[in-house]
Amino acid sequence: MSHPMPNGETKGTGSPLGVFERVPDDVLSLIFETAHESGYYCAPSNELGGKLQAGPALESEATISHVCTLWRDLAYSLPKLWATFRFRRAASTDGFVGELERLRLYLARSVDQDLDLVFNFYDMPKAPVLMDMLLLVPPHVHRLWRFVLHSDRTNFVVPFHKELTGVAAPRLEHFEVCTGKYHNIAEEGYDGEPRWDPKILTLGPPNIKFLKLDAPASRRFRPQFNNLVHFALHPGRAILRQQLLWVYFEQVISLPFIETISIFYLVIAPPDPGRHLRTIEAKRLKHFRIGRTHNNLSPLLYLLPAREANLSLQFPSLKSLYFIDVYVPRGLNGSPDLISFWEALFAKTATITHLCLSHSMIGSVNPEYRMSVVSIWGTILSTGEKVGGRVPRDKGQLPWQNVRLLDVNHSEDVAEAFNCSIADLRPLGLWPNLATIRTPSGRYPPTFEPGNVQVEPLLRAAPDWPPDYPFPSSIPTNEFDWRLEIDTT
Supply the pLDDT for residue 389.
40
- Helices 412-422 & 372-382 angle (0-180, nearest 10): 10
Supply the pLDDT for residue 226.
83
- Identify whether the C-beta of residue 29 lies closer than 8 Å to the C-beta of residue 81: no
As a whole number of angstroms, the distance between CA 91 and CA 51 comes to: 16
As a whole number of angstroms, the distance between CA 314 and CA 25 comes to: 55
Supply the pLDDT for residue 259.
92
As a whole number of angstroms, the distance between CA 79 and CA 66 comes to: 17
pLDDT in tens, the chain (489 residues): 444 444 444 444 444 555 555 666 666 656 555 665 655 544 433 322 233 344 445 566 666 655 666 666 666 667 877 888 988 877 677 888 988 998 998 899 889 999 999 898 888 888 899 999 999 999 999 999 999 998 887 778 888 999 999 899 999 999 999 887 665 555 555 555 556 778 899 887 778 988 888 767 877 888 988 888 888 877 655 555 445 667 777 788 888 899 988 887 766 666 666 666 666 778 899 998 887 765 445 556 555 554 444 445 678 899 998 887 776 655 445 566 666 677 777 878 889 999 888 765 433 444 444 445 555 666 666 553 433 344 444 444 678 889 898 887 765 444 444 554 455 455 445 678 888 888 776 665 555 555 677 878 776 655 567 777 766 555 544 343 332 222 222
Supply the pLDDT for residue 138.
96
Length of the chain: 489
Supply the pLDDT for residue 244.
65
Supply the pLDDT for residue 309.
41
b/e per residue 28-58 (b: at least 16 CB within 10 A): bbeebbeebeebbeeeeebebeeeebbbbee
As a whole number of angstroms, the distance between CA 283 and CA 111 comes to: 40
- Identify whether the C-beta of residue 405 lies closer than 8 Å to the C-beta of residue 363: no
Supply the pLDDT for residue 196.
72
Supply the pLDDT for residue 390.
43
Supply the pLDDT for residue 9.
42
Supply the pLDDT for residue 220.
83
